[in-house]
């Protein structure tokens, strides 16, 4: 099942990347509540058109992650690179922005966009978000934009986020969540997996999953509706500091 989900997602996003790579000014998403309109005009103007047009996100995690100069930030499911490039500007020359994606076509697009933007403090890695190819404790911030809901094993994603964060590191994610009253079958009836609907966790499930992975200070804030009783949301969490005293 995991491989089947990965292949469905990979095919969908490979198609989206190829559309942008081969058709000037073509947006790869026209679903309500998802896409480039969730970024400010100023942010869109900072980036290559192809990075903006390839946005398939449900929010703007760089606006809520409170990135600081010198930090290392990891974007899970980085797609065409819009959030990596925005993050690179915020962390500055002394910082580093890393994008992780499993789709070759998206990685090609992202690297092209980074070169066009003359971004020297970025890199793009191939891999899945269930098995992040980075050492433990190697990043200050994990961001993601409407990708965790696509994961085949969300508990593994949450564990990997906790693993790669340094003590005191933080999470600033945009994702789609369901109201707790909505069953799994009801979520599936509202949209497809690759459309970011069917695989969404409920608000309670999301909070429990992050906490079970050892993350604290979990706050989930719905921001806008994407379907009946389903919302784009901002998710914050933190990895406990290594020096936090025990009781």
Domain membership flag for residue 166: yes
CA distance 225 to 239: 29
CA distance 229 to 220: 15
Q: What is the pLDDT of residues 5-17, one digit of tens each?
A: 566 655 655 566 5
Residue 141 sits in a domain of what CATH number?
Answer: 3.40.50.150
Q: Is 113:50 a contact under the CB 8 Å cutoff? A: yes
First-to-last alpha carbon distance for the chain, in angstroms, is 42
pLDDT of amino acid 122: 97
Residues whose CB falls within 8 Å of the CB of residue 131, separated by 6 or more in sequence, listed in order: 156, 160
Q: What is the pLDDT of residues 96-131, one digit of tens each?
A: 999 999 989 889 989 988 998 899 999 999 999 999
- Per residue of the chain (247 residues), what is the pLDDT tens digit? 556 656 665 565 556 655 555 555 444 344 444 444 544 444 545 544 544 444 445 566 777 788 999 999 999 999 888 889 989 999 999 999 999 999 898 899 899 889 988 999 999 999 999 999 999 999 999 999 888 988 889 999 999 999 999 999 999 998 989 999 999 888 888 765 445 566 889 999 999 999 999 999 999 999 888 888 999 899 999 999 976 544 4
Domain membership flag for residue 75: yes
| Residue 111: domain span | 2-238
Domain membership flag for residue 243: no
- Tally the domains of the chain: 1
Domain membership flag for residue 246: no
Q: Is 160:131 a contact under the CB 8 Å cutoff? A: yes
Domain membership flag for residue 219: yes
Domain membership flag for residue 245: no
Domain membership flag for residue 6: yes
Torsion angles phi and psi, residue 12, rounded to 5: -65, -45
The strand ranges marked E within 95-213 are: 96-101, 122-126, 139-145, 165-178, 201-202
Domain membership flag for residue 212: yes
């Amino acid at each position: 099942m995991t491989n089947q989900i990965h292949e469905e997602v990979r095919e969908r996003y490979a198609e989206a990347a190829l559309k942008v790579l081969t058709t000037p000014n073509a947006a790869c998403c026209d679903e309500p509540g998802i896409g480039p309109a969730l970024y400010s005009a100023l942010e869109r103007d900072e980036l290559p058109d192809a990075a903006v047009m390839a946005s398939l996100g449900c929010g703007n995690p760089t606006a809520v992650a409170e990135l600081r100069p010198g930090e290392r930030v990891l974007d899970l499911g980085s797609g065409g690179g819009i959030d990596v490039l925005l993050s690179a500007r915020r962390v500055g020359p002394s910082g580093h922005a890393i994008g992780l994606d499993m789709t070759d076509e998206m990685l090609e697009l992202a690297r092209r966009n980074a070169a066009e933007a003359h971004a020297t403090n970025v890199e793009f890695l191939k891999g899945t978000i269930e098995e992040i190819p980075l050492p433990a404790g190697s990043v200050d911030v994990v961001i993601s934009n409407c990708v965790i809901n696509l994961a085949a094993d969300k508990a593994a994603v949450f564990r990997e986020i906790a693993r790669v964060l340094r003590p005191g590191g933080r999470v600033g994610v945009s994702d789609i969540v369901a109201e707790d009253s909505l069953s799994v079958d009801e979520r599936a009836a509202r949209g497809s997996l690759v459309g970011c609907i069917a695989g969404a966790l409920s608000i309670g499930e999301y909070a429990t999953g992050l906490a079970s992975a050892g993350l604290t200070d979990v706050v989930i804030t719905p921001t806008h509706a994407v379907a009946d009783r389903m919302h784009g949301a901002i998710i914050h969490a933190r990895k406990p500091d290594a020096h936090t005293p025990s009781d």
